[in-house]
Amino acid sequence: MQDIIEKLKAREFRPLFILSAVFFIYILLTIFPLVTYFSSDGVVQINGKNYTIKDVEKDNPRIARKFYAETNDRLYRVLSEFASKKVVSLAAKERNVSEKDLLEPSIQSPSIEEMRAVYEQYKNSPALQGKSFDQVKTEIENHLVSQKRRKREMPFFPNFAIDTIFP
């Protein structure tokens, strides 16, 4: 190293040129394996020839579109789940409650009077027509509990909005 510095002081650039050339050759030899290793394209090899999704696009565009649609759908679901969990986490932290308490607050079961009032209001609807109160009591109870839960959760989430999800 000292020798190279001495030659540079003497204005001999040949060692620097050789060192630069060796480094450049090293970069050229390693870049292709690195790119192929970290490339996300799937490859199938048939009779020694490699095929990728680009070949599928050419030979059968319908299957390629299906692949892209499924991939985008999976990505959308993953991002949606992440966003939902993040919003719940931020809301719980803001309210100083646990995420479980935020998502599963204790809700009292609706009274028989509440359930009967809902039944009387909707008994002529197509969903309840011809069914007795006892037949739909459980469904009405679940619906009212769900409504109360949503109503109770709404104040926790006004400051957090999932703006956009790009799959």
Number of domains in the chain: 2
Q: Do residues 147 and 69 both lie within one domain? A: yes
The reply to whether 96 and 146 lie within a common domain is yes
Q: Terminal CA-to-CA distance of the chain, rounded, Å?
A: 52
| Domain match, 20 and 48 both | no
Q: Is 162 part of any domain?
A: no
Both 18 and 4 in one domain: the answer is yes
Six-digit token string for 51: 């095929």
Domain co-membership, 93 together with 122 = yes
Q: Cα 30 vs. chain centroid, distance in angstroms?
A: 33
Please give the structure tokens belonging to residue 55: 């070949």
Amino acid at site 161: A
Closest CA to 102 of 111, 93, 113, 110: 93
Domain ranges, residue 120: 40-156
Are 150 and 108 contained in the same domain? yes
- My answer on whether 119 and 49 are in the same domain is yes
Query: What stretches in the chain show pLDDT beneath 70?
Result: 1, 7-13, 39-41, 104-106, 150, 152-167
77: amino acid identity, one letter: R
pLDDT tens track for 18-62: 888 888 898 888 888 777 777 666 788 889 898 888 999 999 999
Question: Hey, what amino acid is at 56?
Answer: V
Residue with tokens 């970290």: 38
- Residue 82 in any domain: the answer is yes
Residues 50 and 35 reside in one and the same domain: no
Asked if 14 and 91 sit in the same domain, the reply is no
Instruction: Based on the fold, state whether residues 60 and 20 are members of the same structural domain.
Output: no
Mean per-residue pLDDT of the chain: 79
Indicate whether 161 belongs to any domain.
no
Q: Specify whether the CB–CB gap between 102 and 156 falls below 8 A.
A: yes
Residue 87 lies in a domain: yes
Please tell me whether residues 12 and 85 are part of one structural domain. Answer: no
